[in-house]
Amino acid sequence: MSALQRRVYNLIRDDDTNDLASNIFDGFIIVLIVVNVAQVVLDTFDLPPWAVAASLYVEYFSIAVFTLEYALRVWCAPCMYPEARPARARVRYVFRFMSIVDLLAILPFYIPFIIPIDLRVLRSLRLLRLFRLFKVNRYTSALSTIGTVLRKKSSQLVSSVFIVALLMLISAVLMYNFENEAQPDVFTNAFDSLWWAVATFTTVGYGDIYPVTPAGRFLGAVIGLLGIGLVAVPTGIISAGFMEQIDEGKAEADDNKKFCPYCGHRLDE
């Protein structure tokens, strides 16, 4: 890798160095992300023509910067994985989670130039750049603890989500059969009653759709009470995970505190 590549890499990589140029670059990117978020939010209001134009310029400018940054990062990838060949390093970088997020944030802008379709929804993907803010906040260690706990317990969490999904599907079809006759316009098909099942299991209960027949209400009551379990089981899993995390921290601290009761020798675990 060339010296230029290395210098650019030092500028744009995500670290906590006190290098002035690097900090200015980081600050500039953060400001641009915040401006982009503000612009996406403001675009949902009825803006006067000059503001629409300004919003467009902000978008052009941000996309240009983010595209350039993305290109530079790909170009500098070999500095990140010095042990790999440059081409492989770049491929590896492109398929990292955060790189895909970065790409999703700029790609929707270019698609209409190639295929002329309206991608307004996709363009709000720019909000994904918000995740970049994580690396600059001072709570990285807390976040990584949360991440570790969720990852460790992922199979239990996925299992409970799987059970909930089955229960939702079954109760949605049952509810459709109970309520369709009484409220044909509300419980029109299984998707409507699936929407009801989600609103009930999560205890959101907007009130746009609810059972009125005795059988439907009985099922609704059972589902509502099971919905409590939907909160209780993952909460229990996650609580235990956090406790385990704390215990492991302590176990490490305790490592040299064990003694054999017969000979009094320290038991190096």
Chain residues 175-194 in contact with a copy of itself, contact rule CB under 8 A: 176-178, 180, 189-191, 193-194
Site for a copy of itself in 138-177 (CB under 8 A): 139, 141-143, 145-146, 149-150, 155-156, 158-163, 166, 169-170, 173-174, 176-177
The nearest distance, CB 169 to a copy of itself, in angstroms, is 6
Q: Is residue 26 a contact partner of residue 12, using CB atoms and an 8 Å limit? A: no
Q: Which of residues 94-123 bind a copy of itself (CB under 8 A)?
A: 120-121
Q: Which window, 10-18, 39-47, 51-59, 109-117, contacts a copy of itself (CB under 8 A)?
A: 39-47
* Polymer length of the chain: 269
Judged by beta carbon, residue 74 or residue 127, the one nearer a copy of itself is 127
From CA 166, how far away is CA 12, in angstroms rounded? Answer: 46
Q: Could you tell me the smallest distance in angstroms from the CB atom of residue 137 to a copy of itself?
A: 7
According to CB under 8 A, which residues from 18 to 37 bind a copy of itself? 37
Query: For a copy of itself, which is the closer residue by CB, 49 or 264?
Result: 264
What is residue 266's three-state secondary structure?
Answer: strand
**Residue from 21, 71, 87, 198 in contact with a copy of itself (CB under 8 A):** 198
Q: Other CB atoms closer than 10 Å to residue 213's CB: what's the count?
A: 16
Binding to a copy of itself in span 201-230, by CB under 8 A:
202-208, 210, 214, 217, 220-221, 224-225, 227-230
Alpha helix ranges (H) inside the chain? 3-12, 20-42, 49-80, 86-94, 97-114, 120-123, 140-152, 154-179, 190-201, 214-254
Considering only residues 239 to 258 of the shown chain, the ones binding a copy of itself according to CB under 8 A are: 239-246, 257
Q: Which is nearer to a copy of itself, 79 or 223 (CB)?
A: 223
Q: Residue 180 carries which DSSP code?
A: T
CA–CA gap between residue 188 and residue 196 (Å, rounded): 11
Number of residues interacting with a copy of itself: please give it, by CB under 8 A: 95
Q: How far apart are CA 161 and CA 155, in angstroms?
A: 10
Contacts of 260 (CB under 8 A, 6+ apart): 267
Burial (Cβ within 10 Å: 0-12, 13-18, ≥19) of residue 157? middle
Q: Which one of 25, 70, 81, 131 is in contact with a copy of itself (CB under 8 A)?
A: 131
Residue with tokens 């290098």: 19
- Nearest residue (CB) to a copy of itself, 48 versus 82: 48
**Least distance (Å) from a copy of itself to the CB of residue 212?**
8
